[in-house]
C-alpha cells in the first residue's frame, strides 16, 4: 500500500512548500486565503527529507506578492515558494524576513494598549539564532512566533 | 547646529536613549541643583495627564515645571474625563496636545505613552505605562547613583524584589546596560526578571546572577536597589507568600561596603525597616528629591533648543 497522500497538481498558481509542521493554517490566515475565496489545498504532517515533517499549501490561480512571501518567512523561514504556470515551475520567489509587520498579529500581552484602542498592531521582527522574535512596538514585550496569533 | 540632542524629543522608553543623551541630562540636572532657572519654561504649558494614582512622579513633574516658570494643566485620575464616556485615549490625547507644549502621561496600559507620542504633535514624556517603562525614574535613579559613585563603570548593583512586573526595574536595567555594571538579581522565583530582558543583558555583555537572599550579595555590592512587591499584580494568596520575603534591616548590612547606598523608588511598604533611615546607607529620600532636578533637566532640554 502506498503510504503517501496524493496531493493534486495545480495548473496555475503558487505552491508554498517546506512549511514547518503546524504552521500551514497560520499562513492561510496570515494571507487571508480563506477570506479571499481562493481555491487552496493544504497538506499537513507530510514526510519531508529536509524537515522530517512538513506542511504545504497550493493556491490555485493566484500568485502571491513579494510582500506576502516575506510575511510567510516569520512562520516558515525555509519555505520554497514556486510560481506555477501550465503545471510547471516558472519562478521561485525569493524571500527575506520583514523588519516590521503591521496589522497582522494580535499582541499576546492583554495589558497592551492595542487591545483597547482602535489601532493596528505593529511588531518589529528579528532573528536570534534559529528563533524568530516579535517585539510589540507599543508594549515592547518580546514573543516567540508561536506565541502570537494572526488577526483573522 | 545645536548640541541639544533632546530638543523636541519624546521620552517613551529607555531603549531610545544613548550614552550621550544620558550624560547630557545628568549634566543639566547637576546645573539645576546648583542654580535656579526660573524662566526657562516661561510661557510654556505642561499637560500633566495621570490616569492612575501617583504622588512622587506627578508632584515632582509639576514642581519641576513650576520651578522653571512653566504652567501646569491636567488631572490626577481618569475620573471625570470623557474617556469614561467611551472616548479613546487616541482622541483624548490628540485633543490635549492642542492645549499644551508638552504632555506628561501616566496610564495603566502598556504602550499608552508610545501611542500618545504618535498622535500628539507636541513632545510626550512617559511617566509610567503599566508594567512596561518608567524612564524618568530610571534616570533619577542613575543620577543619584552617579552622585555617590561618579564612575558608574565597574559598579556592582543588586536589584531586590519584584523584578518581573516592576516598570522602574525594567527601565533602570535598560539605562544601566549603557555602562559596565555587574548586576545581582534578588527575587522570589515567581518575580524573576523576564527572560527577554535577561537575553538582552546577555547580548550586551552585562554580567548578572540570580539570588534568593539579600545577605548573600551584601558584601559584593555598591548599590542596593530595593523595590516594592506590587500587591495589585497578585492574588491575595500569592501576595502573602512573597510579601515579607525581603525586608532590609540594619543588621543585614553588617558586612556591607562602607560606601554602600540603599535606593528605593518609593513608596515602600515594609521592605525597608524604618530604622534603616538613620543609617549612612539610606539614600532613598535624596533619590526622591533628585526626581525634581532630573525632570527639570528633561523639560528644559525638550523645550529649549539652547542649553542653559
Cα distance between residue A103 and residue A119, in whole Å: 8
- Tell if the CB–CB gap between B89 and A141 is shorter than 8 Å: no
Q: How far is CA B232 from CA B78, B166, B239, in A?
A: 18, 12, 9
Residues A96-129 as b/e (b if ≥16 CB within 10 A, e otherwise) read eebeebeebbebebebbbbbebebebbbebeeee
Give the model's pLDDT for residue B235. Answer: 78
Give the model's pLDDT for residue B229. Answer: 85
For residue A105, give the C-alpha cell. Answer: 498579529
Question: A55 and A18, same structural domain?
Answer: yes
**Looking at the predicted structure, is the pLDDT value of residue B2 above 70?**
no
Residue A87 CB neighbour total at 10 angstroms: 9
Note whether residue A2 is domain-resident. no
Note whether residue A7 is domain-resident. no
Walk me through the domains of chain B, giving residue ranges and CATH numbers: 14-132+290-303 (3.40.50.1370), 135-288 (3.40.50.1370)
Helix axes B56-67, B135-148, angle to 10 degrees: 80
Give the model's pLDDT for residue A4. Answer: 66
Note whether residue A69 is domain-resident. yes
**Looking at the predicted structure, is the pLDDT value of residue B164 above 70?**
yes
Give the model's pLDDT for residue B215. Answer: 95
Note whether residue A24 is domain-resident. yes
Question: A67 and A30, same structural domain?
Answer: yes
CATH number of the domain that A71 lies in?
Answer: 3.30.70.140
In terms of C-beta distances under 8 Å and separation of at least 24 residues, what long-range contacts does B96-99 make, across chains too?
Answer: B96/B47, B96/B49, B96/B120, B97/B47, B97/B121, B97/B122, B99/B45, B99/B47, B99/B73
Question: A107 and A79, same structural domain?
Answer: no
Mean pLDDT of chain B: 94
Portion of chain B with pLDDT greater than 70, in percent: 99
What do you get for the CA distance between the two ends of chain A, in Å? 40
Note whether residue A5 is domain-resident. no
Q: Does B207 touch chain A (CB under 8 A)?
A: no
CATH number of the domain that A112 lies in?
Answer: 2.30.30.20
Domain ranges, residue A78: 13-92
Residue A5 CB neighbour total at 10 angstroms: 10
Q: Which of A92, A116, A142 is the last residue of a domain?
A: A92
Chain A stretch 103-142, residues whose beta carbon is closer than 8 A to a beta carbon of chain B: 109, 111-114, 116-119, 128, 136-142
- Tell if the CB–CB gap between A117 and B130 is shorter than 8 Å: no
Question: A104 and A88, same structural domain?
Answer: no
Q: Which helix (H) or strand (E) holds A142?
A: strand A142-144
Cα distance between residue B121 and residue B137, in whole Å: 24
Q: Which of A76, A92, A108 is the last residue of a domain?
A: A92
Question: A52 and A82, same structural domain?
Answer: yes
Note whether residue A8 is domain-resident. no
Cα distance between residue A41 and residue A22, in whole Å: 15
Helix %, strand %, coil % of chain A (to 5) = 15, 40, 45
Residue B276 CB neighbour total at 10 angstroms: 21
**Looking at the predicted structure, is the pLDDT value of residue B186 above 80?**
yes
Q: Does A4 touch chain B (CB under 8 A)?
A: no
Question: A85 and A19, same structural domain?
Answer: yes
List the single residue in B89, B90, B111 with the smallest CB-CB distance to A139. B111
Mean pLDDT of B130-135: 94
Question: A110 and A74, same structural domain?
Answer: no
List the one residue out of B307, B303, B298 whose CA is nearest residue B126.
B298
Give the model's pLDDT for residue A3. Answer: 62
C-beta separation of A87 from A11 below 8 A? yes
Contacts with B249 (C-beta within 8 Å, 6 or more apart), sequence order: B273, B275, B276
Q: Does B131 touch chain A (CB under 8 A)?
A: yes
In terms of C-beta distances under 8 Å and separation of at least 24 residues, what long-range contacts does A129-132 make, across chains too?
Answer: A132/A73, A132/A74, A132/A77, A132/A97
Helix axes B112-119, B89-96, angle to 10 degrees: 50
* Nearest-5° Cα angle at A36, A31 to A37: 120
ipTM greater than cut 0.85: yes
Query: Over its length of 152 residues, how does chain A's per-residue pLDDT go in tens digits?
Result: 456 667 788 999 999 999 999 999 999 999 999 999 999 999 999 998 888 899 999 999 999 999 999 999 999 998 999 999 999 999 999 999 999 999 999 999 999 999 999 999 999 999 888 889 999 999 999 999 889 988 87
Give the model's pLDDT for residue A152. Answer: 73
Q: Which of A71, A92, A113 is the last residue of a domain?
A: A92
Question: A104 and A70, same structural domain?
Answer: no
R_g (Cα) of chain B, nearest Å = 19
Q: Residue B283 class from Cβ within 10 Å (0-12 exposed, 13-18 middle, 19+ buried)?
A: buried
pLDDT band at B243; cut points 50, 70, 90 = confident
Question: A114 and A136, same structural domain?
Answer: yes
How many helices (H) and strands (E) in chain B?
9, 9
Question: A61 and A35, same structural domain?
Answer: yes
Give the model's pLDDT for residue A29. Answer: 92
Question: A28 and A66, same structural domain?
Answer: yes
State pTM to two decimals: 0.91
Q: How far is CA B193 from CA B126, B127, B128, B213, in A?
A: 22, 21, 18, 15
List the one residue out of B230, B149, B144 whose CA is nearest residue B182.
B149
C-beta separation of A32 from A62 below 8 A? no
Residues comprising chain A, all counted: 152
Catalytic residues of B, by residue number, are 56-57, 85, 106, 134
- The total of structural domains in chain A comes to 2
Q: How far is CA B212 from CA B188, B189, B203, B260, in A?
A: 6, 8, 24, 20
**Looking at the predicted structure, is the pLDDT value of residue B150 above 70?**
yes
**Looking at the predicted structure, is the pLDDT value of residue B199 above 80?**
yes
Cα distance between residue B91 and residue A73, in whole Å: 36
Cα distance between residue B208 and residue B156, in whole Å: 10
Helix (H, G, I), strand (E, B) or coil at A5: coil
Best of B90, B108, B110 to disrupt the A interface (most A CBs within 10 Å) is B110
Closest CA of chain A from B131, distance in Å: 9
Give the model's pLDDT for residue B80. Answer: 73
pLDDT band at B79; cut points 50, 70, 90 = confident
Question: A107 and A55, same structural domain?
Answer: no
Note whether residue A1 is domain-resident. no
Amino acid at each position: 500500500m502506498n503510504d503517501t497522500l496524493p496531493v493534486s497538481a495545480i495548473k496555475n498558481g503558487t505552491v508554498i512548500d517546506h512549511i514547518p509542521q503546524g504552521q500551514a493554517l497560520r499562513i492561510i490566515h496570515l494571507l487571508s486565503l480563506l477570506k479571499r475565496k481562493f481555491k487552496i489545498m493544504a497538506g499537513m504532517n507530510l514526510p519531508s527529507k529536509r524537515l522530517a515533517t512538513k506542511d504545504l499549501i497550493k493556491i490555485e490561480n493566484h500568485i502571491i506578492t513579494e510582500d506576502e512571501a516575506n510575511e510567510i518567512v516569520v512562520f516558515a523561514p525555509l519555505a520554497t515558494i514556486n510560481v506555477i504556470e501550465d503545471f510547471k515551475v516558472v519562478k521561485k520567489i525569493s524571500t527575506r524576513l520583514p523588519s516590521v509587520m503591521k496589522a497582522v498579529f494580535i499582541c499576546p500581552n492583554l495589558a497592551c494598549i492595542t487591545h483597547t484602542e482602535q489601532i493596528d498592531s505593529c511588531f518589529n521582527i528579528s532573528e536570534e539564532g534559529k528563533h524568530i522574535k516579535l517585539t510589540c512596538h507599543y508594549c515592547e514585550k518580546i514573543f516567540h512566533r508561536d506565541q502570537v496569533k494572526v488577526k483573522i | 547646529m545645536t548640541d541639544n540632542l533632546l530638543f523636541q524629543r519624546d521620552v517613551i522608553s529607555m531603549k531610545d536613549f544613548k550614552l550621550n543623551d544620558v550624560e547630557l541630562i545628568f549634566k543639566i540636572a547637576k546645573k539645576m541643583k546648583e542654580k535656579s532657572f526660573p524662566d526657562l519654561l516661561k510661557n510654556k504649558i505642561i499637560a500633566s495627564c495621570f490616569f492612575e494614582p501617583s504622588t512622587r512622579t506627578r508632584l515632582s513633574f509639576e514642581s519641576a515645571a513650576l520651578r522653571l516658570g512653566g504652567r501646569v494643566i491636567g488631572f490626577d485620575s481618569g475620573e471625570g474625563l470623557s474617556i469614561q464616556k467611551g472616548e479613546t485615549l487616541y482622541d483624548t490625547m490628540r485633543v490635549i496636545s492642542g492645549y499644551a507644549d508638552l504632555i506628561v502621561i501616566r496610564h495603566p496600559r502598556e504602550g499608552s505613552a508610545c501611542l500618545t507620542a504618535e498622535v500628539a504633535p507636541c513632545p510626550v514624556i512617559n511617566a509610567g505605562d503599566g508594567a512596561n517603562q518608567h524612564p524618568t525614574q530610571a534616570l533619577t535613579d542613575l543620577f543619584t547613583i552617579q552622585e555617590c559613585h561618579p564612575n558608574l563603570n565597574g559598579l556592582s548593583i543588586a536589584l531586590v524584589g519584584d523584578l518581573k512586573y516592576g516598570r522602574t526595574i525594567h527601565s533602570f536595567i535598560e539605562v544601566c546596560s549603557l555602562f559596565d555594571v555587574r548586576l545581582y538579581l534578588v527575587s522570589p522565583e515567581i518575580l524573576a526578571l523576564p527572560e527577554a530582558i535577561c537575553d538582552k543583558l546577555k547580548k550586551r555583555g552585562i554580567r548578572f546572577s540570580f539570588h534568593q537572599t539579600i545577605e548573600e550579595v551584601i558584601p559584593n555590592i555598591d548599590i542596593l536597589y530595593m523595590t516594592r512587591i506590587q500587591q495589585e499584580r497578585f492574588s491575595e494568596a500569592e501576595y502573602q507568600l512573597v510579601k515579607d520575603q525581603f525586608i532590609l534591616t540594619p543588621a543585614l548590612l553588617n558586612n556591607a561596603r562602607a560606601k554602600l547606598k540603599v535606593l528605593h523608588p518609593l513608596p515602600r511598604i515594609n521592605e525597608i525597616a524604618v530604622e534603616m533611615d538613620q543609617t549612612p546607607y539610606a539614600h532613598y529620600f535624596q533619590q526622591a528629591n533628585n526626581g525634581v532636578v532630573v525632570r527639570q533637566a528633561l523639560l528644559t532640554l525638550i523645550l529649549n533648543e539652547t542649553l542653559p
